[in-house]
Amino acid sequence: MSTDNTAAELKLALDMLEKEKEISRDVLFDAIEGSLLKACANHFGKSDNFKVDIDRETCEYHVYVEKTVVMEPEDPAVQISKAEAKEIQPGVKVGDVVRIEVQSKEFGRIAAQNAKSYILQMIREKERDAIYSQYSGKQRSIVSGTVQRRVGENLTINLGKTDAILNENEQVKSENLRPNDRVKVYVLEVKKTEKGSSRILVSRTHKDLVKCLFESEVAEIQDGTVEIKAIVREPGSRSKIAVWSNNPDVDAVGACVGVNSSRVNSVVDELRGEKVDIVNWDENPGRMIENALSPARIVAVFADPDTKIAKVVVPDDQLSLAIGLKGQNARLAAKLTNYKIDIKSETQAKDAPGFRYEDYMFDDDEEYDDEYEYDEEYSDEEVAEEAGTEDDGSEE
């Protein structure tokens, strides 16, 4: 039987574990019961006929051994003589089962230590299970954490109850994350290791990090009024997202930008200055391509849905803006619309009757930067100024 002090200490410990480790009391009581039975097995050689009663309110516990009443016991571990049994429970008969309370101090120091180890092991296992359950449900979403330390080229991010791994290829090259920096990360994968702990992989480069940030900032996205139809990203530099409103009275772009650009600025701040273009999504390929090439003005778009090739004509003074600094605006527009886009100025279009694809066509691969050279009269600084890379990058 447990003493009053033991029960009080046990109750205090359970309250702390339940609060700090978020392990249910039922699980903890099961662990205690299991540890006491294990102590019985270690001390008495078996535990099949031992029972544990625990008061769930006071945490007072009793351990009993059940023995069958016989005239002449052959196995004292499971049998008791009728004479001895009558001293415990008068009126018993041969064949009855009596319960005899076992004082826990009889288990001995080693048995008690084994019981303590068992409880700690159970708690660790349940804690690991709780962490896995919590974070496996957060895959494909964002969580907040604190940069902990650098391990080789990787970073560990403390999520509160466990650490996540931000691998080198999931880090934005332009970000200089330091210990104690607060960041939001996208949960790529949660899996159990051979030892039972959770391995959590996170990302700062995934395009859905931007999507999740807007979902957390824009109430109209949360309630389904506004949908993010497509999103492309060059991490650390620029993103483009196409949005659609299911309510004709709600402006999808305006909802995402927010009053005084408050919503988009919150996303840009979390992305540490990455520019974000927000455009209207359109089922019509021509209009969609026109929107995607924003902020440049478009004169004409000829889109072929079969070949996924589009010809675009822009005013002469908009050519470099449509292409963007090092081709970024056109490259992101191509990825957003899934079209190969041939951009020409009005003068170029008039001077080239055949409008030859091979002269100006580009794909959305990494080689585009070298394949297309915009007019020499535009410097990178001028293109940057025209493209608005000094502002918040959002669509008003």
Could you report the per-residue pLDDT of 68-82, keeping only the tens digit for each? 999 999 998 899 999
Sign of the torsion angle spanned by Cα atoms 6, 11, 17, 22: positive
3-state secondary structure of 80: strand
* Arithmetic mean of pLDDT, 341-356: 79
Sorted by where each starts, the structural domains of the chain and their CATH numbers stand as 4-134 (3.30.1480.10), 146-205 (2.40.50.140), 208-387 (3.30.300.20)
Q: What pLDDT, on a 0 to 100 scale, did the predictor assign at position 365?
A: 40
Residue 355: left if φ>0, alpha if ψ -120 to 50, beta else—which one? Answer: left
Residue 220 clears pLDDT 90, i.e. is over it = yes
Global pTM?
A: 0.70
The answer to whether 190 and 159 have CB atoms below 8 angstroms apart is no
Residue 289 clears pLDDT 60, i.e. is over it = yes
Q: What pLDDT, on a 0 to 100 scale, did the predictor assign at position 62?
A: 84
Q: Among the listed ranges 34-38, 148-152, 214-218, 357-361, which one has the minimum average pLDDT value?
A: 357-361
Q: Confidence band (pLDDT; 50, 70, 90) for 360?
A: very low
Residue 259 clears pLDDT 90, i.e. is over it = yes
Listed residue (90, 99, 88, 104) closest to 66, CA to CA:
99
Q: Confidence band (pLDDT; 50, 70, 90) for 46?
A: confident
| Beta-carbon contacts of residue 315 (< 8 Å; ≥ 6 apart) | 297, 299, 345, 346
